[in-house]
Amino acid sequence: MTAIEQTEARPRGTRLPRRARRNQLLGAAQEVFVAQGYHAAAMDDIAERAGVSKPVLYQHFPGKLDLYLALLDQHCDNLLQAVRTALASTNENKQRVAATMDAYFAYVEDEGGAFRLVFESDLTNEPAVRERVERVSLECAEAISEVVAEDTGLSKDEAMLLAVGLGGVSQVVARYWLSSESTVPRETAVQLLTSLAWRGIAGFPKVGHEQG
């Protein structure tokens, strides 16, 4: 039995403001896309999950790809905002590394499974999807690199290489931690990864400080 069949359809006929209806449809689409993947998902399934008719669904989203891209935009923005918030949460660099790592773990652990649309999409051969996935990874790295460059005095390109490494390690390890059903608590996993990353990044002395 599929996730769609296991979940009772939401009541039909409820009139909602346009924005609320759009959010409802996006929520239903996320459930279906995460459970089935893009290719196996059908607009019929999404309409049924949302408790609306297909014409109502098409009023908001002309096609399945439009719906998928709207979801992808939403969740790419959520990840970028989480990373930026983590970076701004403290001026203490080790804590900032930990906060950024934890942002990726929290994103992956979210029960809605939205990270699968970003990091594990079955539609990366679609240029519009690939562009969004690559862009959010780049923008997260750019946000991290700005802090690295400011604190270390490394060039923009050097800081970017380190930032891509930090972001990549964070999301790959977080996904492994979740998929392996690790017995390591999230807090401990973040501490372990932070220790590993900090031993490397701390080797670059802060601007105005001698390396000890």
Pick from 172, 73, 170: nearest CA to 119: 172
pTM score, two decimals?
0.84
Burial profile 171-208: b = 16 or more Cβ within 10 angstroms, e = fewer: bebbbebbeeeeeeebeebbeebbeebbeebeebeeee
Residues in Cβ contact with 158 at an 8 Å cutoff, skipping those fewer than 6 apart = 149
pLDDT tens for the chain, residues 1 to 212: 333 333 344 455 557 788 899 999 999 999 999 999 999 999 999 999 999 999 999 999 999 999 999 999 999 999 999 999 999 999 888 899 999 999 999 999 998 999 999 999 999 999 999 999 999 999 999 999 998 888 888 889 999 999 999 999 999 999 999 999 999 999 999 999 999 988 877 666 565 544 44
pLDDT digits (tens, 9 = 90+) for 123-136: 999 999 999 999 99
What burial class does residue 161 get, using C-beta atoms within 10 Å of its C-beta: 0-12 exposed, 13-18 middle, 19+ buried? Answer: middle
pLDDT digits (tens, 9 = 90+) for 6-34: 334 445 555 778 889 999 999 999 999 99
CA distance 199 to 208: 20
Pick from 211, 85, 89, 94: nearest CA to 153: 211
CA distance 201 to 152: 9
